[in-house]
Chain A
């Protein structure tokens, strides 16, 4: 039986980032991918590197991760399409403008640079927004990337450093340092890292739910949009646990294309387009940017976020001392991949972590039954 120090299950962006981090720590690493690296949730998402302040722990992790992306920047291939576009949180009215000021204060305390835009500054920054908006908050260092190539970069670097990609079979069961693939092959590993995103078949009792999202991409319109724009109401909708919601969220791609979101649905595991949701999502977008009406949409698709009850990822050890988790990132897997990978490996090696790791420990949710053979 072939053995590894660490065997990572899932070559999404989080699994790939973990692999690279392990390789850099000198560990012997294997990565199990049943299908295409970066082909599931990683490929379906927007690729927005964003500092989120919805909880102190999330703020700490996203800020930490964004700084790690900035460190990686000189090494990222052109194909990753990293662009420091900045996020503008758009305030529709005075009430939301109040939130803008509160948000700026929260960011400032955390050392995250941001700038309040009044109505005129917002219109100047994004002339295609409708008139009459109150303003916004520009978070300067937020960025946009193309996630599949970013995942491929981590994977390629890990493999170059000696990691082994085991492709074509998913893991069927895990436990006590053994991973058994669907074809019966077994591997031994001191540590097993489960990074299978929204797929919890290996650990069915994990409190992770699939949260479906829709996106639509347009033809090329260079210059139409300059920043990633998100309505402040997004936070309200993102926190809705029970019902379906849509929010205005639009991203400029390096190609000049526009990526339009977003929607959130629980309890719908059908990957098909939900026309009702797609339509409300696009109506919402057009209510902020009327000029989108004439813009050509070329493709719509859906994806599944891995949502936890407290909106924080699961990073660290489980009841089985050989099994570790790096999953449950909801909509922030792209942003948080490098931070999560660093925290995970700090934990594996007993290093002092760069930020407090306790809010993300799986032990906070007391139900870690594993699916044994």
Chain B
């Protein structure tokens, strides 16, 4: 069977599975819609969290990003896993004990202020919308490359699927589809990685293959370092980023991960505090399987690509190069007309341009794997994008129905609230789809926003809410606003300064960054500011009321968590 048939079969089967699960696990009450009834097992929640977290970017783009960044790519690996240590140790168990449905719920109650709640809702909506637009785009790209349909048709099909199970099933439907999606995506990521590792290094474990030897007996990484330096690039195992920026970006990604609302809410769905701790552990295991394999895929990919294309005759390239040239993900331009492809660091004479997404998408073809593996990768990419999109849509709909509507009209019935939640999810799907079809030119840039804002706003405010009894609403609001405004302005200035304010591009260059910290890493500085301002302000303003202090003591003790409450 050819690639296209296999892809249709595998993607079709996986979609049928998701829809089947959605019908089986419809939500009947707001509690089922918001937190899946609060009875999800830690193992299932761990898997669902992993799928929720690993987006189209993790699945499709991250390995390729590392291929070209080498050691500098470590910021993503450490940043997007280390955040789970913070989440497990500092946030998840206490938020579970608190026992409500959303992050703005916690902020509003702990800081006894609807103003704080509204600021939190705005942050949650902003973070989730920037993220979800990227996911819908990811679905469209996978559709167009593998199923040969138009990107926009792909986005619309993706919208319908997500609409179906997110709107119908709420958190309950999402949880069980995410478990299925995790299985699909991890299988799809690992199969080609294991094949390629066997071929290149003879080791079935890609994690070990990365440290293994290639055909001629030299270590893969040493060989890669040698080849890249010869072509004028930085050695694979050493980086270009200054240490302070590596530090800041890693920290911002870790803290941002721990502060992302769609990840945090997953820990409201387990029955006990103990389960929240354990399920963060399971989530990290499931994520680590992909995240320790990705650097191996990255190194194998760049090694294979250079090996099969560089210095080869232009009219006799492997078949996969021809296939992917049509999608413009590989561009070859024989500038000096010598009939041979030159791949070098100098852009003036370089003749080969490889898009980062190739490393995962074309991996099975590069390694000449059977056609069904290619179809599998398509289904995996789709699973990664759909599961994350669904989790984000839920945060959006909950923020509207619960944190805004219910909070300001406490009298509405459960049934009506559920209807509003479904309606909000439906509107959110359509808005996300719109951004998927008409992507704002800055989708890649806004990721820095999402993490930076989560790092500078949610993370400190939640941590202080748990670990400091003295922290009051004045401190928290001042801190949140300072962190937000500072981080937002820094990113906007350095990312869009030229377009928006007509700043000369030279004055936005790296040497003008504050302490050499890039916009991607500035969230860690924003977080620091948030902490400092909060503490300073809280010292000069009255302590929180006695019942709030009691609540803080209460959430620190595991016993008596019970199920998440309805009111």
Tell whether A pairs with B.
no
